[in-house]
Structure 1
Amino acid sequence: MTKQLLLGQTLGFSGNPLTTEWADVTEHDSAGGVLIADGRIAATGNGAALRSAHPDATVTDYGDALISPGFVDAHMHYPQTGIIASWGKQLIDWLNSYTFPEEARFADQGYARQIAGQTLDLALAHGTTTLTSFCTIHPGSVTAFFEAAATRNMAVIAGKTCMDRNAPDDLHDTAQSAYDDSKALLDEWHGKGRANYAITPRFSPTSTPAQLEALGALWAENPGILMQTHLSEQLPEIAWVKELFPQSRDYLDTYEAFGLLGPGGLYGHAIHLEQREIDRLSEIDASVVHCPTSNTFIGSGLFDLMGLAQAGLRIGLATDTGGGSSFSMLRVMAAAYEIGQLRGTALHPAQLMWLATEGSAQSLHMGGQIGHLGAGAMADITVLDLASTPAIAQRHGLARDIWDALFPTIMMGDDRAIKDVWVAGQRVDA
């Protein structure tokens, strides 16, 4: 058995720093080590002690770089990679102007393969080792994404996006084809290697009640898998939902009424929630996903991170590429900090790092498997250079502690801060 020992600073968590005092659940070792064996983390602890206990391990010494779990992006759209940072107004205009025309191109399997590979390579270059992605209505777009992830041995979650109204004709499926295609893809891919399937209605406005009901039935038949969609992203969107579903109590009810509310539900954005929706999401143990760069870029609003955390919701963090304007989870953490400031809560660096790793993993019901430095987790690891640019380095040089040293990288870092990435115990070639 080949062993790898990574030496450097390590950062891990024993609990949720959003609901518990962060200092009580944060574990930092300035001279730590991570032992890897058979693609998993075998041990984490003092670097010198691990080196002494495992003299046969191949050692990679990262000095004072920070060894972190790989970043986990809990909500994105790989078909929108090509249109990231496109000028636009708000959500509906952006979908019609950029998203739908680009997604129509994914009828071409070759194009889908090209973009899937580009997206995953960009993610890895930015230290992200797991993506949760919407695909397009084309089953081949799902196959392309899972195939590309398999060649890189990445853990991913994805599903065919289902839409049978309020979209261009060439992006329509039907209630029956949405069910049939999703079931076939689920049967083919879920649990194959590191692939996980998610039932994927885009959002209520683009699915008829019949399609929502069909997908709810599929989820009931496969309750152990995830379901991903969008919820309460923008106020005009919510008004539109009320017009389309006049009988519903609120936006969440348009999912609940058709069997699309459950503990494996991933609800992207969730900015403008009513109290009933918050209570139901908490009661059912569903997850909401914070997409701060997207929320500011498209002008959606300010997510109530601490309020929803205190309400007991699972919360993930995400790029929402391409509504989000960066592939970097560092930039996403910075935007989460800025939104927190506007809401009156200054998030600590420990809380931000937890959100991008363990928090996102827990929102995907994969806690302890990914986004984690503990024994038994897959060895998906990102190593951060905390002095990657002259601007960051000069601030790092004045740091008083690890948090002073880490925070400039969160706020100003990009792919240059990614010193190394490991996926399932294998170093990713630069």
Structure 2
Amino acid sequence: MAISIDLKAPETRTAFGEQALAASPASARAASDERPSLIGLSRDELGEALGAIGVPHRQVKMRVAQLWHWLYVRGVSNFSLMANVSKELREKLDAAYTIARPEIVTEQVSVDGTRKWVLRFPAKGAGRPVEIETVYIPEEGRGTLCVSSQVGCTLTCTFCHTGTQRLVRNLTPDEIVGQLLLARDRLGDFPDAATPAGAIVPSEGRLVSNVVMMGMGEPLYNFDNVKTALAVVSDGEGLALSKRRITLSTSGVVPMIEKTGAEMGVMLAISLHAVRDELRDELVPINKKYPLKDLLEACRAYPGLSNAKRITFEYVMLKGVNDSPEDARELVRLLKGIPAKINLIPFNPWPGSRYECSAWDEIERFADYVNQAGYASPIRTPRGRDIFAACGQLKSESERLRKKDREALEAAAG
């Protein structure tokens, strides 16, 4: 069975009986904190922030290097821990800025070791606090963090739970980078930090070794913030994740694909799921704007594309919808000439979904065909289904609760 984690705070219960956290003074402050964050800033922006609180120009470069090291190598979340920064400057920094992590609403651990955090971010402007979900997937030899880029989504893909939630807003660079920092905190992936007893993590190397922009939202509809965040994540003197270990997944925002390769240089994944326009129009409605022909042309032109840097095509297996031998043959035909691999994803059900997962023998038959055609096509074993952390299942907790409340009111009125 899945478990929830005691984070040393008084417990409350959500409507689903999951363990949640009563806000501690620190998390309550974080939820209402109006100080700008230093997390996710470029070095130049960090220098400007230091200049704004009176750091002399001749010291800025040195101070930026100090802060960068403390934030992204040592992983501190409190200015008071920056031992080689003067007390006076630490106090000025704390008065003007924050480096706090997102507030954890719930933390759940699946039977397979997958972890899901519901995270709350402070209100922006006249808005209100928002929540997203972030997922950690441990596997042999690597640990992958699935990061969200938006609160909700506009794309309404019919097999995706997130698509049933309206878009609230884009996440900012500090909120995107903050998901990685929090995961490394909770897993003990910073120097001198301890990994939780019994946690399922890679046996050696970095515990968060890969990042996939495959959480809530469409990353290419939040291009500038995602680009800024991933530049921080891949910086060699900080978090230092290779761009080959960062994958951005898009449903097919064709005009932004070339720009992604040229300006971000990360690995690309395409949320494909159908091989005919009429079906993809239904499953992935953005296809009506950018049909398969245009999408595949953009993939062929992706900067840096090679056998060493292949595009991943994600294909969710839906019973009686897209899993026939004819679909497999057409998929191979469509991808001819594109250095690619295909991830076959057994459909992960969620409340109210109208689809079923393909039978396992159908999935294996499909995989055999595309493998024989020369495409590496692993079947992505469902992870975290018991805590709704699998592909296509993410949706913010507050949105789930609002839906449950609406249904309860409708039932009472009925």
* TM-score normalised by the chain length of structure 2: 0.38
Structure number with greater CO (CA < 8 Å, separation at least 6) is 1
Q: Name the larger-Rg structure.
A: 2
Q: Higher helix share goes to which structure?
A: 1
TM-score by length of 1: 0.37
